[in-house]
Amino acid sequence: MVITRVTNGYRKPEGIDEMATALQPELKQDLVRYGARGVDLCFNCGNCTAVCPLSLDGTSFPRKLVRYAQLGLGEKLATAPEPWLCYYCGECSATCPREATPGETMAALRRYAIAQYDPSGIASLLYRFPWFLVAFTLLLGVVLGFFHLSIQVAKHTVDGVTFPAHWAAFNWIPYETIHMLGVFVGALMGILVLSGFANAARLMLKPHGGIRSLGKHKAGDFGQAFRRLGRELVTMRRQAECSDEGEGAEPWYLRARFAHGTIMGGFMLLLAATSLDFFFVFLLKMEFYGIARPLGIIGGIIMLYGLLVYTWKRMRKATPNTTVTTPADVWILFFLIVLDITGFALLLITMNQWQGVASDVILLVHSVMAMELVLLFSMTKIAHALYRPMALYFHFLKNPETTA
Ligand code: SF4
Ligand code: SF4
């Protein structure tokens, strides 16, 4: 159904603008699968917008977004940068008179937005059907297991020493084939990330009037917005305004901002360690681990710390933003913790040159997790590292005077 705003004397319903707007009556039901379960309860009082510490005149939320969801305005939701401006403190949910859980709706709308940015359609399956992720993981396990493990059924003798039958990794697939698989997966990830990023920019620019409206800004505005974004990413000031740092706060080392910082910092160190490893060992063919290994160990430890803090907070349901836990929340924490721990186990295995079924299974689990992380990077919750900075940039560009 398409309705067009009648201008003279007609007061437009909330969420309807000058453009023809497609209504999707089935959208509300679909959004439930993304985690927006309280949309119908909202009676549009605006309390959530009033209490939200990050909602401004120019970019008010979450009431507006809940209203879009009620009306089935899919395009409005897909193009709205506001879900990314919310840090999910849960304050709005805690004070909603109808218990309509607007904070959870904002989280669901971020998932919905990721599904709209993703050209492959995988993100949509991922969020709407939890079994899809299990099937995807198992499929990856089978494919990698095929490449990775083979059974030497017979005992064999090398230099007079008899070895028992055992699992052996990579001993029958040509090295070039494995290398090409890695290149293919890396290229696929690059394509998915770039196309998701481009789609997000195209959609988020729509409410701003599209690419052409960027011409309204002076050259200095772009630089200023960029500097504000840089400051924000370093200090995470908005998250501090919207988090567990108020009165009666937990100690600093248990706060969301610190835990988030350790996860991000650890992730960056692990990425740096992997890149150095690739550079020295793979490209230069040097057995040099002097920088990569300590970086990887430090990165793994601090990331594990942040993940355990987040897990503990969810288990305690101590703050408004941890009262609802979706399968996507469980999966991302479980996934990153397993990836981290198996990474440490592999380090021990390599340093001690342990062999056996257990070592190979750990290697397989770690490979499956790492491959999944690479392939689904732009579709999971981790994708907020791509889309939140983009939304913040447009927000700072559009609102140069705001402090939030
Ligand atoms: S979500 Fe709750 S607080 Fe917000 S407008 Fe609806 S009823 Fe009011
Ligand atoms: S969860 Fe926090 S930041 Fe997000 S809309 Fe609600 S009050 Fe605002």
Q: Which residues does ligand 1 sit against, CB inside 6 Å? A: 42-48, 63, 66, 96-98, 100, 102
Domain's final residue, options 88, 117, 146: 117
pLDDT, position 300: 93
pLDDT, position 393: 93
Indicate the DSSP class of residue 279: I
Domain's final residue, options 70, 91, 117: 117
Based on the fold, state whether residues 225 and 332 are members of the same structural domain. Answer: yes
Q: Phi and psi of 158, rounded to 5°?
A: -125, 125
pLDDT, position 175: 63
| CA pair distance 127, 133, nearest whole angstrom | 9
**Residue identifier of the C-alpha nearest atom 7 of ligand 2:** 52
| CA pair distance 340, 362, nearest whole angstrom | 12
100 lines ligand 2 (CB under 6 A): no
- Count up the domains in the chain and report the number: 2
Q: For residue 79, what are the contacts with CB-CB under 8 A and spacing of at least 6?
A: 203, 204, 206, 207
Domain's final residue, options 117, 152, 187: 117
Based on the fold, state whether residues 248 and 371 are members of the same structural domain. Answer: yes
How far, in Å, from the CA of 49 to the mean position of ligand 2? Answer: 8
| CA pair distance 224, 396, nearest whole angstrom | 8
Based on the fold, state whether residues 343 and 221 are members of the same structural domain. Answer: yes
Give the mutation target among 14, 37, 48 for probing the ligand 1 site: most ligand atoms within 8 A of CB: 48
pLDDT, position 375: 87
Q: Does residue 261 belong to any structural domain of this protein? A: yes
54 lines ligand 2 (CB under 6 A): yes
| CA pair distance 260, 307, nearest whole angstrom | 8
Instruction: Give the other-Cβ count within 10 Å of 315's Cβ.
Output: 10
Instruction: Give the other-Cβ count within 10 Å of 247's Cβ.
Output: 4
34 lines ligand 2 (CB under 6 A): no
How far, in Å, from the CA of 45 to the mean position of ligand 1? Answer: 5
How far, in Å, from the CA of 127 to the mean position of ligand 2? Answer: 21
Based on the fold, state whether residues 73 and 212 are members of the same structural domain. Answer: no
Closest atom of ligand 1 to 51 CA is 3
CATH number reported for the structural domain that contains residue 344 in this entry: 1.20.950
Q: Is the backbone peptide bond immediately before 62 cis, with ω within 30 degrees of 0?
A: yes
pLDDT, position 248: 61
pLDDT, position 43: 95
User: Which tokens in the block code for residue 6?
Assistant: 């009648």
Q: Does residue 383 belong to any structural domain of this protein? A: yes
**Residue identifier of the C-alpha nearest atom 3 of ligand 2:** 86
Based on the fold, state whether residues 194 and 336 are members of the same structural domain. Answer: yes
Q: What distance lies between CA 112 and its chain's CA centroid?
A: 12
96 lines ligand 2 (CB under 6 A): no
How far, in Å, from the CA of 88 to the mean position of ligand 2? Answer: 5
Q: Does residue 150 belong to any structural domain of this protein? A: no
Q: Does residue 129 belong to any structural domain of this protein? A: no
CATH number reported for the structural domain that contains residue 44 in this entry: 1.10.1060
Domain containing 303 equals: 179-398
**Residue identifier of the C-alpha nearest atom 8 of ligand 1:** 45
Based on the fold, state whether residues 95 and 190 are members of the same structural domain. Answer: no
242 lines ligand 2 (CB under 6 A): yes
Closest atom of ligand 2 to 321 CA is 1
How far, in Å, from the CA of 48 to the mean position of ligand 1? Answer: 5
How far, in Å, from the CA of 108 to the mean position of ligand 2? Answer: 13
Based on the fold, state whether residues 75 and 220 are members of the same structural domain. Answer: no
pLDDT, position 152: 47
Q: Does residue 147 belong to any structural domain of this protein? A: no
How far, in Å, from the CA of 88 to the mean position of ligand 1? Answer: 15
Give the mutation target among 37, 43, 64, 91 for probing the ligand 1 site: most ligand atoms within 8 A of CB: 43
pLDDT, position 356: 74
Mean pLDDT, each 10-residue run in order, the chain (404 residues): 37 45 82 92 94 83 94 92 91 93 94 94 90 91 76 54 54 66 82 94 80 75 92 85 66 87 92 83 71 90 95 84 80 90 90 79 88 87 91 88 65
